A and B are shown apart, each in its own frame.
Chain A
Amino acid sequence: MTRDVDSGGTDPDRSDSIDGGVARADGGVASDTSGESAGRDGDVDRQFDEIAIARKGRWLGYAVVAVIVTYLFLMALETVEWFRADLPAYLGTFAEALQDYFPFLVFGEGPIGVAFAPAGFLEYVAFIRERNLLYESGFFAGADGVLEYPILLFTQTGGPIRLFGAAGETLAIGFAGTVMGFPLALLFSILGSGRVTPFPFNFLFRGTMSAIRAIPALVWVLIYVPLGGIGPTTATLAVATDTVGNLGRLFTDELEEIGDGPVEAMRTTGASKPQIIVFGMLAQVRNSFIAWTLYVFEINVRIAVGLGIIGAGGLGLVLSVQQGLFAYTNMMATIIVIFLLIVSVEMVSQRTRAYLRAEEEPMAAIQLIVGFPERLMRSLLK
């Protein structure tokens, strides 16, 4: 029904264009004097008409696609009960929650309807400190003096990672999961390469990686529940499994792109098969493998937050508990810490990747320290 209406709409347009084409053809013939150029102009006209028709056809195609997308969009909204939900009725509740989310803003006061109350930030800080979200306050409790801090930093359980409190726990899940997944991702991607494993068999490994990817980490942790329930340990396992699928896929793609040259060159030196893989293949992709691993580490820290929400600990767990208590200020404080954690991880990983890509000489240690504020600003502005 809709489609009929639509094509009716484009029909007049089409006849217009044909008219235009004919008019131009007439003009072309009228201006011709020699037979040779008449033939050429005929070709030009034919090209012109063909282009015009092709263009109309393309527009018709776009219109059909637009109709289909609109229809599916409406059906999707129907499915999510968009038209039955009464969002406006809850706007008042949401406004109240906004006040809790942002205690440093006072709504309904001042010339623009919002006043600024800096004291509100203290509520965030109080919660972050109380729950050790960003810093484990008891970490140095056993120290007799500041001089013992560096010793404690490395002798305490959890070391420097534990120092970051709940954020450290989330970071630990992402980091340990990445490190555990890396060797298997490497192994599967090498075995999945057509150069190493003959054709039908390499798809055994690629298939395994596809199967792992088809299941999200959130589901993997459910699969690992019999290993001791949902907790940091099973969450780490889930992240590791997910890493094998995702990182392995990125590695495989990267290995597809390498040149045959170095592989062949290593063959002629009399290298063994493992040596050909390491020097002919892996040496070519070393930097991009490190870059992809850092990228997946970033993603894994985000996944660790998500796993925390369903009970794996760290910042995610704090967030879900505070949400259950409708303690919106505390929730926002947790979200701020999540933001800080993920932005820091991204900044470190982006800097490292940019450095790996750079063709210039390695930066000296002194430049690393002195240039840090400038680089920090630059990556913040990105």
Chain B
Amino acid sequence: MSTAAVQQGTKWWSGGRSPFNASYGKVMMWYFLMSDAFTFGAFLISYGTIRFSQNHWVDPNHVFNSFPFAGHTNLPLAFVSLMTFILIASSVTMVLAVHEGHKMNKAGVEKYMLWTILGGLCFLGCQAWEWTHLLTGQHEVLVNGQLEYWNTTVAHNPFGPEVMFNGKEVATPGPIAFGSYFFEITGFHGFHVFSGIIINIIMYLKTKMSHFEQRGHYEMIEKAGLYWHFVDLVWVFVFLCFYLI
């Protein structure tokens, strides 16, 4: 039930054609993205509300200072910058895939879709490493006058304010909201990346099976692209809220 034959010469809003010159599928995708933006918006605003009601918050430069295969390093935000770069790069390859689609170049679409999928998988891999690092990494914390070793979970935060204990500076438990929101929001975003990869794989297979070539256009790639760019855009906000501020 796609748009009925477009009548040339009729006005944009007078019926018989799409007022935005966009297919219903694209209109749907845009509204879906608005809806999803409200979901993420609610999460991030909740995070902001709680974070700024705390007396103390973690220092991201201290929490996110590790890098894979480099042992105990002090490279603040280096790894997350790499992750972000990978994700943004995959957005670029997505644009190129859409562009190839406009040119009806099947081989080009396939190539850039593969790069996009690879970028998404790399990002998810990075996220898995970061989560593992936080969940397993032990940190010295002063709890009720005793030293304990804590990892970072939804209910533990070893990055609280530092106090003097036996002549050295030790951290005390920090607000547990940090771990809760970090894992919840990055997890929800990661789930979006995961679904995006699944969608992209389907798009790649449909391209390979010449579905879009037979249809005469690659609009599905564009719609998948809209979703993928949205997921990237959300990451920019997540990055801002958890790593930069």
Does chain A bind chain B?
no
